[in-house]
Structure 1
Amino acid sequence: MTPLPIALLLGAVAVGLRLLASRRSGADREKLAEASLLERYVRLPAHALPPIRLALLGAGVVAIALASGSGGTEARRLDEGGAETILVLDASNSMLAGDVEPSRLEVQRRLAARLATRTQGRMGVVYFAGRAYVLSPLTTDMSAIEMLAEGVRPAAVGLGGSSLASGLTQAIDLLAGGEEGARKSIVVFSDGEETAGAPLGEAIGRARDAGIVIHSVGIGTELGGQIPLTREASLDPTMAARRRGGASVLQGPDGSPVITRLNAAQMRQMSLGTGGLYVDGSGGTDAIERELAQGGREPLTSTDDVAVAALLLLAFVSLWGEGFLLPRG
């Protein structure tokens, strides 16, 4: 909104101009006839009316100035300096583990979809397992982002393994093509296991050099759990050799069940290296949501909209009363 001192200044200018006009009218009346004669034949306004008229004029101008200083919601959200965020979602088979209820995958879907609905600016989505794919470039269509967050699954990638570096690289590439001046962030949802791909340190260094902040959400427990071979599991042909005898869980080369564990230390190191936050997914993502909210201009709230409507109504009533309701001489 327009600052109050500026609005008051505009109101004072309007009142001053009206006072000059009133003085000129008074001078014209004095030239026309003596005051006693005018009072007999001309209906002059009551002495209290001119100050009331000036007050209404000033109030109307101030209200218009304050209301006109408010921008629209979309203009606030998309202007330079806004936020750009990439969700990097883990689609590896380890996310099928049930060491958190109902599964790591379901917790990831819920948290990522919630973050999408509570974050302003532009957002994109990357899935990763043994390799990474861009599912959505930067967009303001949060309903599409929410749908992609809820639809992540290992079968969508198709290559076994887990390469956090690949996911980060794709996210960094997306942000590099974004809007200059925007605050750029990556939010990684994962159990932190790294079994394939390039070293993670190279991607972290690249993000740091580009001024990109990496936040991370750890999903799983350090105790870990087995990986069930459900219909959502990766269709990667290399996994067939590890489904020994129709086993219901993923097995290692020695035939024993594979245990997947949360690597919180790696997730925390990834975030701290770029000035970001690490949170445990069991506690939600409120801290990251607050951090992302500081990245762009906040859109107008419903309270702002009501205030603008009230100011415009005040302006209309004041100016209409000053111009038409009060009697004139």
Structure 2
Amino acid sequence: MFTFGAPEWLWLLIVVAALPLLYWMLRLYAKRKLRKFGNEATLLKLMPNYSSLRGWIKISLLTLALGFLTIALARPQTGSKLRTVESQGREIVLVVDVSNSMLAEDVTPSRMSRTRYAITRLVERMNNDRIGIVAFADEAEVLLPITGDYKMAESVTKRLSPDLIAEQGTNIGKALEVALLSFTRSTQHTKSRVIILITDGEGHDQSTEAAIEQAKAEGVMICAIGIGTPEGTPLKIDGVHLEDEEGKMVVTKLGESLLESITAATGGIYTRSRNDSFGLEEIITRLDEMEATELSTITFEEYDEQYQWFLGVALLLLVVEMLILERRNPLLKGVKIFER
């Protein structure tokens, strides 16, 4: 079987084929200009080394060389065999807290800004893994179904903010339930699924315990990154301190004990974000230790490239064309090859 890997280049053959016609037109124009100075035959006697045949030989060689070069660019291919490539990796669902408490500034510049930055860095380091994003406050929503489209993941990350979820709160249990449902069926019985929970840990109810048990039953590992400080900070929204029902300032603190218990129960790890480190290295190291599974199989036809032969002929013709002079070489007058 014969085919081309880049057939769009073949259109250049039309331009290449027009070169001899263009050369003929230029020669015709030159002759007309020459006749203005006198009889053509007489003028040619004044140029004994001139050879019109050499000019036609050179343009013919150049046309052939460019033709072969164009065919080489079109990547001629022969043969055909099926090749199967398997893509192995992990399915990772990022569960991101977008409640109002993530606006706190006990980490620089804020918990939410640090989270967006860290997710972007994590996505940049991914290779064959698939990623999904779930945002949550009191409710949870899948912002990005599991995909290998990292550009889309980065785009979704930029949108993360408390404005995404109307009902405020920190319902971690609900978020984990939604994340568990978002995994694809193809990885259902593998150990290559992981949830990365990014939150300040201020939320715990019975649904959290149920989600942990479900994750354990399905073999899903949960890792967590705690955002904030145990000491906490007064919560401000639009520059205004929030107050509780008693008129006291609302202080948001990092709830590490909950996150540690979630990760310990599912074989994951917990790490805390600090101003000098987001805790990504520990998470990435743990991901690298995980079992990778087959995520997709692609079967395609593979051909043998033959462009090198056409390229070689093109280069040879160009060398010959450059060696031939348009005028006769006085040293080779006895050779009648180009005599005309």
Higher helix share: 1
Match of 1:85 in 2: 92
CA distance in structure 2 between the partners assigned to 1:142 and 1:294 by the alignment: 22
Q: CA deviation at 1:265?
A: 1.0
CA drift at 1:176 = 5.5
Amino acid at match of 2:178: Q
Deviation per residue, 1:107-149 (Å, 9 max, x gap): 1111122112213411100000010000111100011112222
* Alignment match, 2:267: 275
- Residues 84, 182 of structure 1: 8 Å contact kept: no
Distance 1:249 1:198 in 2: 30
For the Cα contact (< 8 Å) 2:187–2:193, is it kept in 1?
Answer: no
Unaligned runs of 5+ in 2: 1-82, 295-303, 309-340
Q: Distance between the aligned counterparts of 2:186 and 2:120, measured in 1?
A: 22
Task: State the identity as a percent.
Answer: 30
Aligned residues: 210
Distance 1:254 1:119 in 2: 47
Of the three residues 229, 232, 237, the one matched with 1:224 is 232
Structure 2 residue 187 is the aligned partner of structure 1 residue 179:
yes
Query: 1:308-319 alignment to 2 at 5 Å?
Result: none
AA at the equivalent of 2:118: L
The answer (yes or no) to whether the contact 2:187–2:293 under 8 Å persists in 1 is no
1:266 is aligned to: 258
Deviation at 1:220, TM superposition (A): 0.1
Structure 1 length-normalised TM: 0.59
Q: What are the within-5 Å matches in structure 2 for residues 1-329 of structure 1?
A: 75-76=85-86, 78-79=87-88, 82-120=89-127, 121-175=129-183, 177-180=185-188, 181=190, 183-194=192-203, 198-230=206-238, 248-282=240-274, 283-284=277-278, 285-295=280-290, 296=292
**Is the alpha carbon distance of 1:270 and 1:149 closer, same or farther for their aligned partners in structure 2, counting shifts above 3 Å?**
same
Q: 1-side partners of 2:206 and 2:124: how far apart?
A: 32
Find runs of 4+ consecutive structure 1 residues off by over 6 angstroms.
none
Normalised by the length of structure 2, the TM-score is 0.57
The structural deviation recorded for 1:255 is: 1.4
User: Alpha-carbon deviation of 1:198?
Assistant: 4.5
Q: CA contact under 8 A between 2:106 and 2:232: conserved in structure 1?
A: yes
- Name the structure where strand makes up a greater proportion of residues: 2
Note the C-alpha offset of 1:150: 2.8
Cα distance between partner residues in 1 of 2:246 and 2:207: 27
CA shift at 1:281, angstroms? 1.4
Give the direction of change, closer, same or farther, for the CA distance of 1:182–1:266 in structure 2 (3 Å limit). closer
Aligned Cα root-mean-square deviation (Å): 2.5
Instruction: Return the alpha-carbon distance in structure 1 between the equivalents of residues 261 and 248 of structure 2.
Output: 31
- In structure 1, the partner of 2:67 is none
Which amino acid letter does the alignment assign opposite residue 255 of structure 2?
N
Question: Per-residue displacement from partner, 1:212-258 (whole Å, max 9, x unpaired)?
Answer: 0000000100110122112xxxxxxxxxxxxxxxx812110011110
Q: Indicate conservation of the 8 Å contact 2:201/2:256, yes or no.
A: yes
